[in-house]
Amino acid sequence: MALSEARRDGEFDRRTALGLAAKAAIAFTAFAGGTTALRPVRAAADAGDEAELAFAPATDLAARVASKQVSATDLASLFLGRIDRLGPTLNAFTTVMHEQALSQAADLDAKQVRGERLGPLHGVPVVIKDEDHVEGIVTTYGGAAFSVPAAQDSAVVARLRAAGAVILGKTTMPEFGIWAFTESEVHGITRNPWDTTRSTAGSSGGTAAAVAAGLAPMGVGGDGGGSIRLPSSWCGLFGLKPQLGRVSSAPNRELWNNLGVIGCLSRSVGDSALFYDITQGPTPGVDTYIAAPLAGSFVQAAATPPGPLRIAISTKPTSITGTVDAETANALHALGAVLESLGHHVFVGEPDYPDITAAFEPIWLVSPAAESRRADHPELLELRTKELALYAMPFDNPAAREMAANATTDVINRVMPFFDTADVLITPTTPGPAWEAGQLTGMDFHGAALKSLPAASWTNIWNVCGNPAAAIPTGFSASGLPLSAQLIGPPDSELRLISLAAQIEQAQPWSGRRPRVS
């Protein structure tokens, strides 16, 4: 149903909205199925127990370990076994840390036996995108040009470890996260667990595939133009890009200048909320960008209804490259109807999007080019990366950087007034469900760029502006592929987005259906 059919003079018609909400509920019931309470187990001894644990929220797994229903070693063994069995089909990992994970889990079990205080993720396995340092493991950045193991954990990994998380391995990404598809010359194509002929998107595609397939309950991603939200969309996950500067980028001063952030991909809103409570905050003396402190916790926000909100719905792309498909648009409209039925004021609203080329493109070129100069073996960089570095040269000087900064300010000044009239903006996350895998095969820099830009038509502007934005599942296509909407708020509004996302999750739960490769 077209959005115009559910509104009168820009407002949603309540009767039509309720009808759409009912249809949405029926669709979710048909596709998602029911969820069952987890049964107490001592170990994952059979397929039924394994499936329960593999798709349990991280918060539930932490509670199970704390109550001694299952040990950290049991969980590490279970998930490592799943990675060994299913990982080759998906090609989601660059490094699987068998010995290190089991050793860390054993240490955590010993700590529990000694009666020491347990962290909020005690014994919970997580995976790390291969651009964040894990001590003793090579950070490949998705390519073959690095060979020296990291001397220490990055800030986000250190905080997860301190909370008791067990690091299972490093996940695939396109080289330096440049492209919207998780494909590289050395690591190959990462495949979508819902349909292995389809892409996971990128650049956090390895993390997305692993979490969606039950190879880990949550994982670390990064987002410089949509790289958390795009793979969350195509793999049926919740993925919040936090406010610029919310999570420390240490040991780096920043990630892609003002564009990049570190964040979480998870199957539930509550798991992402816990992740951000654990990882938020700067590293003093390191981070260039530091977000304003929040008034409460993410976990509290996930447990608290948001109250009535002014919610704008828009399918308008931010650039001429974007075209939304009918199933994605219909699911977006149905979500608007659900929100209307929950008491929110839902209306059609279209921000005045400016052309972001002058703000985004120079940073998108210069930042990975600078990362490539740190390579241990620059001769092993992908040809596309070498070509990017050449195109970046005219922008790699103070005058060009100042022009990009001024263009960023212009974009922010033009877009932010929209949030005077809307508490949340909801758009598509991606143009449609997952595209075919192999998008970058045979592509040079120009070809890869032309493939990638349309996929990010609703996401990259929010990296320029810095606003928090989240991908949230909205159902499934007729072919069984996940659909997604993007929730965007004004600066520093993560708690509002988490609260609203949790309300949506309760109204139309999405985690009951499992992908084909699981």
pLDDT score recorded for residue 11? 42
451 labelled catalytic: no
Average pLDDT, integer, range 480-491: 98
pLDDT score recorded for residue 320? 75
Average pLDDT, integer, range 207-223: 98
Average pLDDT, integer, range 135-154: 98
**Under a CB-based contact definition with an 8 Å cutoff, are residues 241 and 384 in contact?**
no
pLDDT score recorded for residue 48? 64
Residues with Cβ within 8 Å of 78's Cβ and at least 6 positions away in sequence, in order, are 44, 50, 53, 54
What pLDDT digit, counting tens, does each position of 18-56 carry?
A: 344 444 433 343 333 333 333 333 344 455 688 899 999
448 band by pLDDT with thresholds 50, 70 and 90? very high
* Higher per-residue confidence, 40 vs 466: 466
Query: What are the C-alpha distances in Å from 177 to residues 34, 361, 371, 480, 497?
Result: 36, 14, 11, 27, 25
pLDDT score recorded for residue 373? 97
pLDDT at 310 over 70: yes
203 labelled catalytic: yes
Query: What are the C-alpha distances in Å from 421 to residues 3, 8, 142?
Result: 19, 18, 41
pLDDT score recorded for residue 12? 42
316 labelled catalytic: no
Nearest CA-CA partner of 134 in 120, 115, 153, 149: 153
pTM: 0.92
What pLDDT digit, counting tens, does each position of 68-100 carry?
A: 999 999 999 999 999 999 999 999 999 999 999
**Which residue of the set 71, 129, 233, 266 is catalytic?**
129
pLDDT score recorded for residue 16? 42
321 band by pLDDT with thresholds 50, 70 and 90? confident
Rounded Cα distance, 318 and 300, in Å: 33
pLDDT at 196 over 80: yes
pLDDT score recorded for residue 306? 98
Q: What is the DSSP string of 119-144?
A: PTTTT-EEEEETTS--TTSB--TTSS
**Which residue of the set 77, 184, 199, 227 is catalytic?**
227
pLDDT at 154 over 50: yes
Mean pLDDT of the chain: 92
* Least confident piece of the model among 47-51, 165-169, 200-204, 297-301: 47-51
Residue 130: what are its φ and ψ, rounded to 5°? Answer: -80, 40
**Which residue of the set 154, 184, 199, 203 is catalytic?**
203
Average pLDDT, integer, range 326-353: 97
